[in-house]
Amino acid sequence: MKISYQEIHQQKNPILPEPLEFGKTSTDHLFLMDYYDKEWKNPRIVNYCDLHVRPGTKAIHYGQSAFEGAKAFKHEDGEIYTFRIDENAKRMNNSAKILMMPSIPKDFQIEAIHSLINVDRHWVPDSNKGSLYIRPFLFGSGSSLGVHPSNNYIYSIILKPSGSYFKEGFSPGKLLITNKFHRAAPGGTGAAKASENYAASLRPGELARKFGANQVLYLDVNNKFVEEAGAMNHYHVLKDGTIIIPEWTDTILKSITSKSVLELSKIHGFKARQEHIRINDFLEGIKSGEIIEAGGLGTAAVIAPIGKYFLLKDDIINEKTLDNILDDKIPKDELGQFYDEIIVGNGSIGSITKNIYQTYTNIQRGNIPAPNGWLMKVEKTFSK
């Protein structure tokens, strides 16, 4: 793939804000590539700019769009390494398949990501301050009404120097459990990193925050099995130290972090497996002490430990009550009547969770050896 560089203006010493928040600061450039006449064309790196689309764009009307999330890290030797972006490229193509969009050769995706990072390498924070968040996205750019796939597409990548995903950092969070909302249904787009899935999560996520929780623990459509923890895969730890992650289905996104944890368990000597988890068994396990730790796994946060679950009393909450809660018409000190609180272990971060987090982040930052192929060096192939 021959990438053109258009009006490149590199900042050698950009000033990053302190504290560095997640996803708010942009680098100077972005990558763009167009799909028309049934092939990808015109790969280019340009100054960071607005994207101009027509009012009839398919992605706007019918949600034909998907994205990815990956990270790059500056190691002690000053070199920059991306982390498992080959897995992100595979998952992007799986999302494209589900949403009837054209696939992008994996090598194209990796080259595009590395080329853009190389141009904006001065924006990568030191590892003790954060990482470079990588956001590739793909959308139908054709302009015509009618529910059918677009003929034209845009693939783009933007970069965000970022600190911790959660403002409170690596500390125990809370999840709201309810059968009022579901992330995905069988046969739908649950296994894709589709934009529409995240749009549907905004209302339940806001409801969770009204109760003081970070996100929702989503159940399957029959309200029997644990699925996702907000935008992350869920996990819990048994008292014998075994990590349990829900089995991937067509309603659960295959987390690269979860996949990595499962693979690391074979190397670093901790126990991990996948299984279908009944919500009643999960709650009983917490109460009995069989489950001692829990949380979420995902690229942005890596690991989000959970200290408490709020079990919503769904039978006493109707749509009007939901609206009143979301509109702040019910005082915060009265919201306790609508849920029961369940504490995991002693409510703090457990030793297994700490060990996974430390192992994982040390691999990303080059402090301990990574499995073969997990880290890819961003070569210095551009100069101006």
The reported pLDDT for the residue numbered 382 is 63
- In the chain, CATH 3.20.10.10 covers 173-349
The reported pLDDT for the residue numbered 12 is 80
What is the C-alpha to C-alpha distance for residues 281 and 289, in angstroms, rounded to an integer? 12
The architecture (CATH level 2) of 4-163+366-377 comes to: 2-Layer Sandwich (3.30)
The reported pLDDT for the residue numbered 383 is 54
The reported pLDDT for the residue numbered 239 is 97
Q: Which of 248, 276, 274, 277 is nearest to 261 (CA)?
A: 274
The reported pLDDT for the residue numbered 216 is 98
Tens digit of each residue's pLDDT (9 = 90 or more) over 158-208: 999 999 887 777 899 999 999 999 999 999 999 999 999 999 999 999 999
DSSP code for 247: P
The reported pLDDT for the residue numbered 1 is 86
CB 41 within 8 A of CB 35: yes
Burial of 27 (0-12, 13-18, 19+ CB in 10 A): buried
Residues of the chain where predicted confidence (pLDDT) is lower than 50: none
What is the C-alpha to C-alpha distance for residues 25 and 23, in angstroms, rounded to an integer? 6
Tens digit of each residue's pLDDT (9 = 90 or more) over 228-259: 999 999 999 999 999 999 999 999 999 999 99
Half-sphere exposure of residue 20, counting CA atoms within 13 Å on the CB side? 21
The reported pLDDT for the residue numbered 190 is 97
DSSP code for 150: -
- φ and ψ at 344, to 5 degrees? -85, 120
- In the chain, CATH 3.30.470.10 covers 4-163+366-377
CATH code given to domain 173-349:
3.20.10.10
